[in-house]
Structure 1
Amino acid sequence: MRFSFGQLQGFVAVAEERHFGRAAERLSMTQPPLSRQIQKLEHAVGARLLERDSRGVRLTAAGEAFLVDARRLLTLAGRAPDLARRVAAGLAGSIRIGFTGASAFGVLGEVLNTISDRLPDLRLELSELVTGDQITALGDGEIDLGLARPPFDGEIFSSRPVHREPLVLCVPEGHRLAKLGRPATAADLESEQLITYSPDRARYFHELVIRLLPVAHHNVAHAVSQIHTVIWLVAARRGIAFVPASATRMTVDGVRWLELAGFPENPVELHLLWAKHSTNPALSTVLKALEPMTARLG
């Protein structure tokens, strides 16, 4: 079935005017070519759409049904150029965002709300991925923007810090450290069993903990990749753990959060990450919308 935009316009005009002459005048054309347009449209559709009589023109049952979709098609066609311009300008379309599970505790919601407030016609598609998988997905063009942990290859990717926060200590309820009455220090942790992070699946946090606290192999109870798993293992009294402060927003029975003393103030970083070769026009508008968030970090 093939019919033209002009044929649809002609049919809708005749259907609304109920008169070929008035419809032709409305379309700034003469009546004979309008009649030929309608004939070609009826042939393409395979059904009679209009009936003429002495009182003018009336729609057949098929014409009544076709009119609904004809108007819809014309509306969509009318919107198409504007939509294309808005997509090209990065104001519409979609942006695919990868994020680490830990970012959902805090900054992810602010990022999404900021984008939606400033770019309401942009569709947001989310993928929960560890940093390594985000890097692969960005390189393959499967996502446009990541919320990931450094370091990154500066030749392939651009990045911008979007959030910094302290570490806190997560200990089981009733643990001796929970009774210190002061922030915990490295000396307080020397004999403790530590739940730490996988060097492969959670490399950033693994290396961060190693830098902050020399951890002997015999002091490692478990090494896992997800922060929520770390916290649940602490609740099960399998050891203690370092977690980002935003994780304290989780409600988990059986754990306590302790401040740390003698450690860097805000060692946990989260960055916006994108591939330099990205061709999605929405990426630049999203990055501009997020500038106030990144500007806070200097």
Structure 2
Amino acid sequence: MDLDLAQVRAFLATAEHRHFRHAAEELSLTQQALSKRIARLEAALGERLLERDGRTVELTAAGERFLEPARALLAAGATAVAAVRGTVRPLRLDVWGHLFAPLRTVRQVLDDGAVQARGQGLPVVEIGHGRDLPSVVGALLREEVEAGFGRYHALADRRARTLAHRLVRLEPVDVILGPGHPLAASHALRPTELRGGRLLLPAAPERLEFMQRFAERFGLGDALAPEANLGAEHFLAQLRESADGFTVLPADVPLPEGAAGAGLRAVPLVDPTPLYAWSLIWPSQGAHPGIAALLGGFAEVGRRNRWLEYRPGRDWLPEAEHAELTGQR
């Protein structure tokens, strides 16, 4: 029988998210279109692959058996296309964490003259945009992309266990304050001096694991998430008008010009300085041949710019990153 790879992709996205709406959003489909693709796949196979029970989705025994072969089907499809074209396919790299401007770091590596001069085999990189870490992990498992770049952390569902990752940059974090905030005139602040204010989040807390760890470590209380995510400019406008609200951003993130950034202050955090960790992730098996060269480029630029400088007595990292850098894993 012939299998439709679009239907297989719909099954994999749903199996990985265990949620129809999240899977549909990742594939830019309506839930109805996603459900129809899965229903047609199940009809073709003559087996039910997913159990739908209200809000939850679980794999049937047949779905469990189909999962790994389905991933292999998508990988084989990508390999077939590359073979026809007769060239090494571009390395598709999804970035996430867009308020934190991840492309700054990626572009610095790809545009670096020394890396280009020395980097034989540096791949052609096609940039995509993932919603968050779980969505990029899903795209990697379905062979839709070859690598991801953003802040990596362990996922509760352990979907990333077949992926490799490497921390490539540590970036100091600033606190962002509106002009009416009582600490706006400060030249530097300790994280504990932010207690009593409101940590504002640009998106749902589950998508901002670093901010959760930061708030817990420095006793900042519950962070305030938006009622709706209406984009960076809307979020910063709300922050600018808040008398006691603040957020945190990596220090090199450029604040917007014009009305969106008017009056906002970026104040360095010290004693300790929180560090935001950027990582590259990729499949541990069958990696794209350009991954090694890309990692070499990150290492080259990182050495020159001291991207991995970390002093535990002066800086703060969440526990997982601290353990990775100090060899305590």
TM tier, shorter chain?
Answer: 0.5 to 0.7
Partner of 1:234: 239
Percentage identity across paired residues of the two chains: 17
Taking structure 1 as reference, are residues 142 and 135 closer, same or farther at Cα in structure 2, changes over 3 Å only? same
Residues 101, 253 of structure 2: 8 Å contact kept: no
Question: How far is the alpha carbon of 1:142 from its aligned partner?
Answer: 1.0
Distance in 1 separating the partners of 2:108 and 2:227: 30
Partner of 1:283: 291
Partner of 1:32: none
Q: Which residue identity lines up with residue 241 of structure 1 in the other structure?
A: T
SS in 2 for 1:257: strand
- State which of 182, 189, 192 in structure 2 corresponds to 1:176: 182
Taking structure 1 as reference, are residues 294 and 142 closer, same or farther at Cα in structure 2, changes over 3 Å only? farther
User: Which residues in structure 2 correspond to 1:11-26 (within 5 Å)?
Assistant: none
Distance in 1 separating the partners of 2:165 and 2:184: 38
1:123 partnered with 2:124: yes
Partner of 1:96: 92
Residues 204, 225 of structure 2: 8 Å contact kept: no
Taking structure 1 as reference, are residues 279 and 186 closer, same or farther at Cα in structure 2, changes over 3 Å only? closer
- State which of 65, 87, 106 in structure 2 corresponds to 1:108: 106
Deviations 1:174-208 (A, max 9, x none): 4221124x422344322212203522222x22323
Taking structure 1 as reference, are residues 284 and 261 closer, same or farther at Cα in structure 2, changes over 3 Å only? closer
1:136 partnered with 2:134: no
- State which of 281, 297, 301 in structure 2 corresponds to 1:293: 301
Partner of 2:46: none
Question: How far is the alpha carbon of 1:278 from its aligned partner?
Answer: 3.1
Unaligned runs of at least 5 residues, structure 2: 1-82, 310-329
Taking structure 1 as reference, are residues 247 and 230 closer, same or farther at Cα in structure 2, changes over 3 Å only? farther
Distance in 2 separating the partners of 1:245 and 1:151: 21
Taking structure 1 as reference, are residues 135 and 149 closer, same or farther at Cα in structure 2, changes over 3 Å only? same
Residues 122, 294 of structure 2: 8 Å contact kept: no
- How many residue pairs match? The answer is 207
Question: How far is the alpha carbon of 1:228 from its aligned partner?
Answer: 6.1
Partner of 1:158: 164
Partner of 1:220: 224
Taking structure 1 as reference, are residues 286 and 184 closer, same or farther at Cα in structure 2, changes over 3 Å only? closer
Distance in 2 separating the partners of 1:289 and 1:221: 36
Question: How far is the alpha carbon of 1:144 from its aligned partner?
Answer: 0.7
SS in 2 for 1:206: helix
Q: Which residue identity lines up with residue 212 of structure 1 in the other structure?
A: R
TM-score (norm 1): 0.58
